[in-house]
Amino acid sequence: MALPSQVRILPPPFRPTFYPRYPVERNEPAASQEVEQAARNGADRVSRLRRTAKKIDTSPSLLAAARRVRQRLPGDDRFGDALSTAGATPVEVVARSVSALGPERESVVQELGLAGLQLWQSLSEATGRGRGEIDIAILFTDLVGFSSWALEAGDAATLQLLREVGTMEEAAVLAHEGRIIKRLGDGLMATFLDPQPAVDAALDVQDALQAIEVAGYKPRIRAGVHWGRPRRLGGDYLGVDVNIAARVAEAAKADQVMVSDATVHKLTLDGLELGKRKRLRSEGAPRDMHITSISRR
């Protein structure tokens, strides 16, 4: 029998099917062991890499090759020691850091790093920033009778005097565009690009010290100026011309500024007066080296 057209057949009602949940079995001890084993394997690989790197870094043949490279490069092939990196230029600061961070053993990496810095330093000097191969005026100062006075005056008075004298000397040197290279107890070493300001600075210090008196001691300075071409090494200068400048200062008496012939030839003597010329009789000084005192009129 046919169904009426208005009758629709409905689908059976939806009944969700529920499936039982079974616990997932996990072997936690086994997973932990796998992680630990992976960590140990990684640590072993790192340890092997370190041993290999150390072996390469300390290889005698590679060390010898790195040093040969440094010897063939321009500049100081010993660059990196305390003497050659005592200055404040960027290359010297970096070199001090490389030397300080280097291992106690000999290192190929350290040698190659210092080789690059050695070349950098050499290029800096070649372009004039290093001021290593040009004529400069070298000034040495010293206080006369300071040591014997300091023994009786005591530490407090000695420190006070050195501070006052140091302030005066630094002001005079900087006012004449000089550079203090190092302090030498009761004196200093300074350099100038021209001998005229070096002499003026020495004479200014001489005048300024007249206002200082500590524990009955009035400082009296002796100074020497020499024009030469010393070798620049780090923040210091070395060489024959430095030794000559020190000998010129030693030849001066209290309240006296001595200058070498090389310095006199570069000076404008307006307002200045030269003393009697004499030979510099000092160990290590050239036989034809002459000096003279200089003062203001």
pLDDT of the residue at 120: 66
The residue among 267 and 50 whose pLDDT is bigger is: 267
Q: Is the confidence at residue 127, as pLDDT, over 80?
A: no
Q: Is the confidence at residue 90, as pLDDT, over 80?
A: no
pLDDT tens-digit readout, 225-237: 999 998 887 678 8
pLDDT of the residue at 292: 96
pLDDT tens-digit readout, 13-57: 656 555 555 555 555 666 677 778 777 888 888 888 888 877 787
pLDDT of the residue at 27: 59
pLDDT of the residue at 131: 41
Bridge-based pairing of strands 179-183 and 188-192 is antiparallel
The residue among 132 and 13 whose pLDDT is bigger is: 13
pTM: 0.60
Rounded to whole angstroms, the Cα distance separating 221 from 203 reads: 10
Query: Domain residue spans in the chain?
Result: 44-126, 136-296
Cβ-based neighbours of 251, under 8 Å, separated by 6 or more: 224, 258, 280, 281, 282, 291
pLDDT of the residue at 129: 44
Q: Is the confidence at residue 223, as pLDDT, over 80?
A: yes
pLDDT of the residue at 219: 93
Q: Is the confidence at residue 144, as pLDDT, over 70?
A: yes
pLDDT of the residue at 122: 60
pLDDT tens-digit readout, 96-113: 666 665 556 677 777 777
The residue among 276 and 75 whose pLDDT is bigger is: 276
- Its CATH class, for the domain covering 136-296, is alpha beta
pLDDT of the residue at 41: 81
Rounded to whole angstroms, the Cα distance separating 242 from 101 reads: 32
Q: Is the confidence at residue 297, as pLDDT, over 60?
A: yes
Rounded to whole angstroms, the Cα distance separating 204 from 209 reads: 9
Q: Is the confidence at residue 179, as pLDDT, over 90?
A: yes
Q: Is the confidence at residue 200, as pLDDT, over 60?
A: yes
pLDDT of the residue at 175: 96
Rounded to whole angstroms, the Cα distance separating 29 from 35 reads: 10
Rounded to whole angstroms, the Cα distance separating 156 from 147 reads: 14
Q: Is the confidence at residue 136, as pLDDT, over 90?
A: yes
Bridge partners (DSSP) listed for residue 293: 258
Cβ-based neighbours of 288, under 8 Å, separated by 6 or more: 279
The residue among 210 and 284 whose pLDDT is bigger is: 210
